[in-house]
């Protein structure tokens, strides 16, 4: 089994800007997805807050990415990790503004 990271990309609305009804609907949708994935969900992850980029010349800058959060799953293959995105709440809009990028995490033996 390998671990795969899901990177959430898109203009996600911060949770503190949801109405109570929207918050309840999001909580329910995420809970349903997490239940479907079950023990393969190694780390449910978190949304990202403010960040910074450290540049190789020693300077800092604002991050240039629209990555808004992550999750980690365990799966037999990249295809199996992709299958866990079925009915994923982050992809529910269906207008192409949101995407989930999946990368296998390589075990670094040192």
Question: Which CATH number fits the domain that encloses residue 80?
Answer: 3.30.70.1060
Q: Is residue 14 part of a domain?
A: yes
pLDDT of res. 55: 92
Contact of 70 with 7, CB cutoff 8 Å: yes
pLDDT of res. 1: 92
- CA atoms of 20 and 16, how far apart (whole Å): 10
pLDDT of res. 25: 92
Q: What residues make up the domain containing 39?
A: 2-105
Q: Is residue 57 part of a domain?
A: yes
Q: Is residue 110 part of a domain?
A: no
Total of domains in the chain: 1
> Do you know the residue count of the chain?
110
Give me the tens of pLDDT residue by residue for the chain, a chain 110 residues long: 999 999 999 988 777 888 999 999 999 999 999 999 999 999 999 988 888 899 999 999 888 788 999 999 999 999 999 999 999 999 998 899 999 999 999 988 87
pLDDT of res. 17: 87
Per-position b or e across 47-61, b if 16+ CB within 10 A of its CB: eeeeeeeeeeeeeee
pLDDT of res. 91: 94
Which residues pair with residue 43 across a beta bridge? 72
């Amino acid at each position: 089994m390998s671990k795969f990271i899901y990177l959430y990309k898109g203009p996600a609305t911060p949770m503190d800007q949801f109405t109570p009804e929207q918050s309840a609907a999001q909580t329910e949708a995420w809970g349903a997805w997490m239940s479907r994935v079950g023990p393969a969900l190694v780390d449910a992850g978190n949304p990202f807050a403010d960040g910074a980029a450290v540049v190789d010349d020693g300077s800092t800058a604002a991050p240039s990415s629209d990555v808004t959060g992550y999750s980690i799953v365990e799966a037999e293959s990249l295809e199996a990790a992709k299958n866990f995105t079925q009915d994923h709440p982050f992809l529910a809009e269906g207008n192409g503004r949101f995407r989930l990028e999946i990368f296998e995490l390589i075990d670094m033996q040192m």
